Each structure stands twice: as C-alpha cells, then as structure tokens.
C-alpha cells in the first residue's frame, strides 16, 4: 500500500524553485503549478510581492512618499487583476482551441507565477535603474504570461497565446494609465 502511494505522488518543487522555474519560463513548472491546487496561496503571494516591488521601485521615478508607494502597489495589483480577467475572457471564451478547458483556478495559479519577473521592479528604487528595471520586468512578465496561458488553456499554438496575452497586456496598461491619470499622486 505504501509503495502504491509513492507511485501516485508527484514530487513538487519548493516555492523558491517554482519562482526560479517560472522566471526561466520552464513549461514543467507552469504545468506543476497549474495542477497543484495548493499552489494558489503561493501564486497570490507572488502577485502581492510583485505589486509591492512595483510600488517600492516606483520611488526611482521621483515619488518617495508612502502614498506613492501604496498607490503604485495598488495600481500594479489592479493592472494584474485586469490582465487576468481580460485573459480569461479572451483566451477562454473568445479564442479557445477545441481542447481548451477553462479552469479559473488553474489559470490564476499559472498567471500568478508569471508575475515572478515583476519582483525585479524593486530595483527601480535606484534612480538610474528605474526605467530599465520596469521595462525589462514588463517584457519578461509578458513572455512568462504567454507560457502560462499556453499551458493553462491547453493551447497547441503559442501564436494564439501571444495574441491573447498581447491584447490583455495592452488593455491592462491602458487601464493602469487611466487610473494613474485620475487617481494618481501629483508628481512635481
């Protein structure tokens, strides 16, 4: 009986290994996270830490107040949530492949881990590194999102995942800009 349990148990990676694998765009890590319902809390933690990294890193843009850090963190979190919702709608409902099965938990876990490169935004706190840190993190997160969406929605075409993620990315950036214009702190 014990040998049978060992055969049916799948080894899982640690949280740190998952972060490294997600950042490395490792398909096996995204498959593992997709299948592991216990990884939901880890995915949420990645999104929160990445959002906080954006808030702290945004200090390099000249906004050193706690209000700016808080606002940028919340804006990053809302931007991720918008991207996730748009991705769900476009990828799962408007552009599914025949084998696509939409499971919100699986999608949110994989795209939560796709936010791992966003942790690099914390280096934006260094003024000379702010723009490169945010630009590199944004592109890297887009690439990770493409892998995550392809795996979570069981796409056979990476091109379809690219289209879904690019549309979602552009719409979520637009939402973040609008929120920033109307509710953001004034930078002088």
Q: What is the pLDDT of residues 120-145, one digit of tens each?
A: 999 999 989 999 999 999 999 999 99
Distance CA 67, CA 111 (A): 28
Is 16 within a domain? no
Is 57 within a domain? yes
Question: Would you state the pLDDT for residue 185?
Answer: 61
Is 179 within a domain? yes
Give the predicted TM-score (pTM) of the model.
0.85
List the domain range (segments joined by +) for residue 104.
Answer: 21-183
Of residues 15 and 174, the one with the higher pLDDT is 15
Instruction: Name the pLDDT band for 18 (thresholds 50, 70, 90).
Output: very high
Rounded to 10 deg, the angle between the 130-152 and 15-23 helix axes is 100
Query: pLDDT digits over 19-78, tens only?
Result: 999 999 999 999 999 999 999 999 999 999 999 999 999 888 876 688 888 888 998 898
| Res 2 pLDDT > 90 | no
Is 3 within a domain? no
Mean pLDDT computed over 165-188: 76
- Average pLDDT of the chain, as a whole number: 88
Q: Which residues contact 75 (CB under 8 A, 6 or more apart)?
A: 54, 176, 179, 180, 184
Instruction: Name the pLDDT band for 82 (thresholds 50, 70, 90).
Output: confident
Domains: count for the chain: 1
Is 133 within a domain? yes
Is 50 within a domain? yes
Is 69 within a domain? yes
Is 30 within a domain? yes
Of 109, 83, 84, 99, give the one whose Cα is nearest residue 154: 99
Q: Name the percent of the chain in helix, strand, coil, to the closest 5.
A: 80, 0, 20
Distance CA 50, CA 112 (A): 10
Mean pLDDT computed over 2-6: 42
Question: Would you state the pLDDT for residue 173?
Answer: 79
Share of the chain above pLDDT 90, in %: 64
């Amino acid at each position: 009986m014990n040998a049978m349990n060992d055969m049916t148990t799948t080894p899982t990676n640690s949280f740190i290994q998952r972060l490294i694998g997600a950042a490395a765009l490792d398909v096996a890590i995204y498959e593992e996270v997709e299948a592991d319902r216990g990884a939901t809390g880890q995915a949420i933690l990645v999104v929160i830490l990445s959002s906080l990294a954006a808030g702290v890193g945004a200090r390099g843009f000249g906004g050193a107040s706690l209000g700016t850090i808080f606002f940028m963190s919340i804006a990053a979190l809302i931007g991720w949530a918008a991207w996730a919702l748009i991705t769900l709608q476009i990828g799962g409902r408007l552009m599914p492949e025949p084998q696509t099965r939409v499971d919100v938990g699986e999608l949110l876990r994989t795209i939560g881990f796709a936010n791992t490169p966003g942790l690099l935004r914390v280096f934006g706190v260094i003024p000379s590194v702010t723009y490169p840190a945010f630009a590199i993190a944004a592109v890297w997160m887009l690439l990770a999102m493409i892998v995550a969406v392809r795996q979570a929605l069981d796409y056979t075409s990476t091109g379809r995942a690219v289209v879904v993620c690019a549309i979602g990315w552009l719409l979520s950036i637009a939402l973040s800009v609008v929120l920033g214009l109307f509710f953001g702190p004034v930078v002088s």
